[in-house]
């Protein structure tokens, strides 16, 4: 296995810290640079004591972000930066021939007008959008292998797209009337000191936010529309729950086939099961549950796995889909490393099992 030199820009956030953990333990990479303006000059071990037992963490210093230096030191660069900032680094790094894996939303959308609508400012590098590959390996594995610019999906979109896309592609559900409710841990808001995310504000409290137009809707509807072959608009309500990490998503859809009788329910059950088996039967990081089991965040936190389950409701004629994932791993850093493995020619599960 040829060792690749990798860097993380914005390594001090929650997703950045998870990237550090994964890459320090990855047998195919050498972590050569981590950046943070706040912690420049301090070692990884000083900022993240959990890594102090590792010699590399005691040696590697946080540095100010310098694109020229990063391009000289690393072959693959992860951008764990706020939206609108990542593009400033992506352009020169791509010009230098580096692989860029962006964890922000800067390159997830194909239409710069949609980006401006949802993110409130013009896209900083619209000429790069056509080069970006949406980094959901279960959907775009072969394109990711050839990509130089990978737009790693958001945490909510991953939990929504994995259950829905196979069914839309197979024509098993209607593309209208989809209702999604997601519950996310507080780490999804990022590592920042804001009143609404303080412990006393979040503990013993549940609340919806981003209603009715959360930013992630833009990439969710883009990818669902591609799967359905027509415009898809969904109702999406995210909620903040008092746990550190994890996302649980419940989706209500309408099957295209009738489910009014026991025989109709039986027939559709078989088609849905076959659809998911075909889509995910060989996938290492998607676990389709059987029997009475339902997704539970406690079973996926700390892993790169997304759990899925579904139930047909003959009484209402609806199909209910449920997923669970770790928002910082399959919803962010783990998925980004999964894409890196594909680009670098490593086994896809390397460093993630």
* Interval 71-91: pLDDT, tens: 999 999 999 998 889 999 999
CATH of the domain at 201: 3.30.360.10
Q: Is residue 350 part of a domain?
A: no
Distance CA 345, CA 348 (A): 8
Residue 193 confidence (pLDDT) above 70: no
Does 75 lie in the same domain as 147?
yes
Mean pLDDT over 126-146 rounds to 97
Does 174 lie in the same domain as 56?
no
pLDDT band with cut points at 50, 70 and 90 for residue 92: very high
Question: What pLDDT score was predicted for residue 192?
Answer: 67
Distance CA 227, CA 250 (A): 19
- Can you read off the two tokens belonging to residue 60? 């590697």
Mean pLDDT over 115-131 rounds to 94
Q: How many CB atoms are located within 10 Å of the residue 275 CB?
A: 17
Question: What pLDDT score was predicted for residue 202?
Answer: 79
Does 199 lie in the same domain as 63?
no
Whole-structure pTM value: 0.95
* Interval 290-316: pLDDT, tens: 999 999 999 999 999 999 999 999 899
With beta carbons less than 8 A apart as the criterion, state whether 349 and 284 touch. yes
Does 126 lie in the same domain as 57?
yes
Domain encompassing residue 138: 4-152+332-344
Distance CA 340, CA 297 (A): 25
Closest alpha carbon to 237 in 297, 171, 178, 302: 178
DSSP string, 37-105: TTTTTSBHHHH-GGGTTSHHHHHPBEE---HHHHHHH-SEEEE---TTTHHHHHHHHHHTT-EEEE-SS
Residues with a known catalytic role? 155
Q: Which 3 state secondary structure label does DSSP give 297?
A: helix
pLDDT above 90 covers a percentage of the chain that reads 91
Residue 195 confidence (pLDDT) above 90: no
Total of domains in the chain: 2
């Amino acid at each position: 296995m040829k060792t690749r030199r990798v860097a993380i820009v914005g390594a001090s956030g929650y997703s950045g810290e998870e990237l550090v953990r994964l890459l320090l333990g990855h047998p195919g990479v050498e972590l050569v640079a981590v950046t943070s303006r706040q912690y420049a000059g301090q070692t990884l071990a000083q900022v993240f004591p959990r890594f102090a037992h590792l010699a590399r963490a005691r040696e590697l210093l946080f540095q100010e972000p310098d694109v020229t230096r990063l391009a000289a030191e690393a072959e693959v660069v992860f951008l764990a930066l706020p939206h609108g900032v990542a593009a400033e680094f992506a352009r020169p790094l791509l010009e230098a021939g580096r692989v860029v894996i962006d964890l922000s939303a800067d390159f997830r959308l194909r239409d710069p007008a949609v980006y401006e609508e949802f993110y409130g400012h013009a896209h900083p590098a619209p000429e790069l959008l056509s080069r970006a590959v949406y980094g959901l390996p279960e959907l775009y594995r072969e394109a990711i292998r050839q990509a130089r610019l990978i737009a790693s999906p958001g945490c909510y979109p991953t939990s929504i797209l994995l259950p829905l896309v196979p069914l839309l592609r197979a024509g098993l559900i209607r593309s209208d009337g989809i209702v999604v409710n997601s519950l996310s841990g507080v780490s999804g808001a990022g590592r920042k000191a804001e009143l609404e995310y303080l412990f006393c504000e979040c503990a013993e409290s549940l609340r919806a936010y981003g209603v009715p137009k959360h930013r992630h809707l833009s990439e969710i509807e883009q990818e669902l529309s591609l799967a359905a072959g027509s415009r898809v608009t969904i109702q999406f309500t995210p909620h903040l729950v008092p746990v550190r990490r994890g996302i649980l998503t419940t989706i209500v859809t309408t099957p295209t086939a009738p489910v009014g009788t026991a025989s109709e329910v039986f027939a559709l059950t078989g088609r849905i099961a076959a659809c998911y088996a075909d889509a995910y039967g060989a996938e290492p990081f998607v676990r389709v549950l059987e029997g009475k089991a339902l997704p539970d965040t406690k079973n996926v936190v700390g892993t790169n796995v997304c759990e899925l389950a579904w139930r047909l409701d003959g009484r209402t004629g609806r199909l209910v889909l449920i997923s669970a994932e770790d928002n910082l791993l399959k919803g962010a850093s783990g998925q980004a490393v999964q894409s890196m493995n594909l680009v670098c020619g490593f086994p896809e599960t390397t460093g993630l099992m």
